[in-house]
Chain A
């Protein structure tokens, strides 16, 4: 009996199937790219992300650790209860060195009970034992070279043209790779949606001309938020740059954060 199928035809069919699969994937990639910008960001339809460049600056010297920003963020963005934070406050306590120890500083202690949402407990040691005590608000560092965007296997997390780093909840598969890749611990896997979540700079607010909730509520203006593309000479964001030398967190990782800090200490990581 003569065979109906030759190896050649079997292989060419296999090749055709693979080629078809690859074309499909390219088409879907284009569609996803279009969807990402226009659908799942929470921005109004007429918002043009190319006309803005958002920036967050933090003056560590002004933060009093009241925790209102953390609470406001949780409420505004429906962040789940428990160890899930889009922003939080850390308290650093650096003690004086023992006399004659030959060390410039004592020990460093850090805490952030419940993200600092309900403030902080009393200082545990007598004031004269403590050399420095300060608060550091943390949030997504809006990296220019975001490791989280780089590693997302489906492209669900992306750099918006206006500087925000966003997650499309309809695309995220919940693998957790971005959470592992974020050096700053700014991401979490939501127990509710089972997708990765993070600070969006309150994208639904800033795209409508409002400030992020944490900036709005801060009583000491420790958080300064602005739009570099539309900032006049008297804009707080310009003033902040004029008046301060700024630092970023973990600069050695080359992520180029766009959240800038004034008044950091070397102990802050």
Chain B
């Protein structure tokens, strides 16, 4: 009988259990699937960039074959990072106000600036310094529209003297050093958006930015493995096993650190068992069971650890094709797992009432701005941009003519 009255809201909207504040009883959570994609995409950018910096800053020569690919991947995902945000706003036409009248105590307000800084000052400039000499050369030998593109990208700077090239190298290196904290800032701040909300016991957590950065690094390296493997298969090249094994190594260690910190977060929550603990337990048991236990923990963490861990010890005993498949499979599972992790954070934080007395449901629909079809489009967009960028800037025909990272790796 008591159940009947506490579930009055349920009669109107059948997706609520217990008591939720009347304003929370809306049919869809405020932040839907698009906001799941936003930290996912931003994390891939930061992770791919940090992987590229391993080459430039930490001089990991084995990774040189994927340096440019990682940078282009970061760029194509960064270009799409703001789209999910923009589409979900009530008034997208006012989005420029974030830049024009920023409110400096808001973590969200700083995004515009961090994003602009990262895109303009770090990624594009570093890529430009890296590509400048090639662009000048390609502009000379390529006719037509394609040549025009290269000419435009040289911005009129055609100086090829050794002094200028040395300066390019030096500036690129400086930008890469600046870029690492910038990448941390870009994604750490995304974690802070959630971590700073003290009203929500699932989000408000000092570890949140750190977890976001670590999982970003993991997902970024996994994405580079994925893109590199797909590209070599499409182009029918042989896979550079030294490069792939090195990526797998970094992927494994990053995953170990990430999994440890996430486990620490989990243990702390269970041990401290603060005010909202019972409702979080209910939510995890009833609403996040599959995405958390299966998606994030099993597919995204345990299985890749089990696949990649032994590879670090027994690398020489596993044949190359098997190794390739194991690494590719792990990378793919990690990409799924990190998406599940973003889902658990963003959607999970809205599946229980701030009255801590009830839980809500969420059904991902097909159509609509927050539907999964839209999400699929937004997720494929960076890959389409990447295809164009790879055709333009990693063209086999042009690269075979001169200095390439691949050559320098071979010479090493």
Interface residues of A (CB under 8 A from B): 1, 3-7, 10, 14, 18, 21, 24-25, 28-29, 31-32, 83-85, 88, 90, 93, 95, 107, 109-115, 121, 124-125, 138, 147, 150-156, 171-177, 179-189, 193-195, 252-254, 269
Contacts and interface: CB of A to CB of B under 8 A. Distances in A.
A151 B108 contact: yes
A188 B2 contact: no
B106 A85 contact: no
B97 A113 contact: no
A269 B90 contact: no
A102 B44 CA distance: 54
Contact of B101 (A5, A113, A155): A155
Contacts of A31: 101
Interface in B1-58: 1-2, 4-6, 8-9, 12-13, 19, 21-26, 30-31
A269 B355 contact: yes
B166 interface: no
Given A124-B5, A152-B106, A185 B97 contact: no
Given A111-B5, A147-B197, A171 B23 contact: no
Interface of B: 1-2, 4-6, 8-9, 12-13, 19, 21-26, 30-31, 85, 88-92, 94-95, 97-103, 105-109, 111, 120, 155-159, 164, 167, 193, 196-200, 203, 275, 349-350, 353-357
Given A147-B199, A185-B355, A173 B90 contact: yes
Nearest to B31: A176
5 closest residue pairs by CB, A with B: A174-B90, A185-B21, A194-B90, A183-B199, A155-B103
The interface residues of chain B, by DSSP majority, are classed as loop
Contact of A152 (B23, B91, B103, B354): B103
28 contacts: A5-B157, A7-B167, A18-B120, A83-B25, A88-B23, A90-B19, A93-B2, A107-B2, A113-B8, A121-B8, A147-B197, A153-B106, A153-B108, A153-B109, A154-B109, A155-B101, A155-B102, A173-B95, A175-B89, A176-B90, A177-B106, A180-B197, A183-B199, A186-B23, A187-B23, A195-B91, A254-B198, A269-B357
A109 B6 contact: yes
* Max chain A C-beta neighbours (<10 A), residue from B88, B203, B354: B354
A183 B90 contact: no
Contacts of B164: 7
Contact of B197 (A28, A110, A174, A181): A181
B199 A172 contact: no
